[in-house]
Copies of this chain bind each other. A is one copy, B any other.
């Protein structure tokens, strides 16, 4: 542990966040996501919820609000599914706290999301139990 670094971030996760560059993407995946199959790099944060991880990561990681229209991605609710992902409201509040104005969201069809995860820099496994909770972040520029 270090001063200024949220305790929930492991040394490996911090290293991955640092090594990412402008335009690289990272997926925070829920507990059932096929992370080992999809991820080029897998960082395990078993047992944690995504909101607390998201909040900690955004203290350090700039989103690509300047060069990307929608630097945040969520998995679209599937056709015919009436589920309301209430966790999205939590995400919105966390995002709004770290970026002003809040970044636009890209709603991505389920299988397209898998394809984006395979191209992402890393996939972070969590114990998040909410449905449609996977979230993708595109790194911006540190100035």
A residues bordering B, Cβ < 8 Å? 1-5, 7-15, 17-24, 31-37, 44-48, 52, 59-62, 121, 127, 129, 141-143
Contact = CB atoms under 8 A, between A and B. Distances in A.
Assembly of this chain: how many copies? 10
Do most interface residues of chain A lie in helix, strand or loop, or is the interface mixed? Answer: loop
Contact of A21 (B9, B22, B37): B37
Contact of A59 (B3, B13, B45): B3
B61 A2 contact: yes
A130 to B, nearest CB: 11
12 contacts: A2-B14, A3-B60, A3-B142, A7-B47, A7-B127, A10-B18, A11-B18, A11-B44, A11-B46, A12-B44, A14-B18, A47-B52
Contact of A32 (B1, B14, B45): B1
Nearest to A11: B18
Nearest to A34: B21
